[in-house]
Amino acid sequence: MVYGLILRLYIAFHAQNSVIPVMSVAFLVIVPLVVGYLSVYSSERIKRQSWFFWLFFPWMPIFASCIVMAALLWEGFICIVMFLPLGMTLATIGGVLGGFAARSHRTRTSNAILGCVLLLPLAVGSVERQIPPANAIRTVETSIDIHAEAPIVWTNIERVPAIKSTELSPSWSHRIGFPDPIEATLSDEGIGGIRHATFRGQVLFIETIDVWEPGQRLAFSIHPDAEHIPETTFDEHVKVGGQYFDVLRGEYRLEPLPGGVVRLHLSSQHRVSTKFNWYAQLWTDWFMKDIQATILRVIKNRCEVTKLQQ
């Protein structure tokens, strides 16, 4: 735990010039691997441990480190939740490697290997700094069936009046810190109209309409007003419109079904720019699906209430 926290403390004081920045394979992949290795290696050298110990004891310093980082406000809750599945898995792998190393080698050889392991994050970070992050453009789509006619559905998507907290169903994205939607206003109907989609925490998405097909399709480019989002709303590593993540486009599409039902599709495009997009995009896809599903449930309930009132 101390080893991991020392590296995180180093990053905190050398954020711009750190060999191993937080958003790097060196820190998010190699460091928990080393932490797991150290935790089992040091224990195994004192007393022979079980396989169960090798697999699960490395989680202890990972959890403890995350608690300390959260308490010191080094990381936000969202970042910690996103890191834990990866960190726990890698710590277990490191623990197994540390257990084998402690049992299989003589003291001199083991100490040499231990020294290499301790320096591994710095070595990987030095190489990784030469590789620019890749941009991945992801498309996510969700849909919901609404028992109402297309004109009613269209009215509820071109503008979204203020959403009451009682209209929002529980969602995981909200539980781990993503702000709830508030409303979406529209300046002018038709192509070129501007929608202002606001979320709690002073999060604003400026949406410029480029497809306007009443009753069928509504699409828009998205520009997050990143400059005016308070620093307390998002952790810097998951800030919308930031270095690592951005939302680019959104689209509603109405699909008529038999029986007076409309299937409403909501899709979005977002950018992920990290050196571990293979993992980050799993989370961003899930976040966007969860947020879109929340919005669609609000629209469905409003449309069906309007239908009943007619």
User: Residue ranges of the domains in the chain?
Assistant: 2-128, 134-309
Residues 125-150: b if buried by 16+ CB within 10 A, e if exposed: beebeeeebeeeebebebebebebbb
Mean pLDDT of 62-89: 89
Bigger pLDDT: 142 or 180?
142
Mean pLDDT of 105-125: 80
Q: Is the pLDDT of residue 271 over 70?
A: yes
Q: Is the pLDDT of residue 105 over 70?
A: no
Report percent pLDDT > 90 for the chain.
59
Residue 229: the pLDDT is 75
Topology of domain 134-309 in CATH is Alpha-D-Glucose-1,6-Bisphosphate; Chain A, domain 4 (3.30.530)
Residue 304: the pLDDT is 94
Q: Is the pLDDT of residue 109 over 90?
A: no
Beta strands at 245-257 and 217-224: parallel, antiparallel or unpaired:
antiparallel
The whole model's pTM is what? Answer: 0.85
Q: What is the DSSP string of 116-157?
A: HHHHHHHHHHHHHTTSPPEEEEEEEEEEEEESS-HHHHHHHH
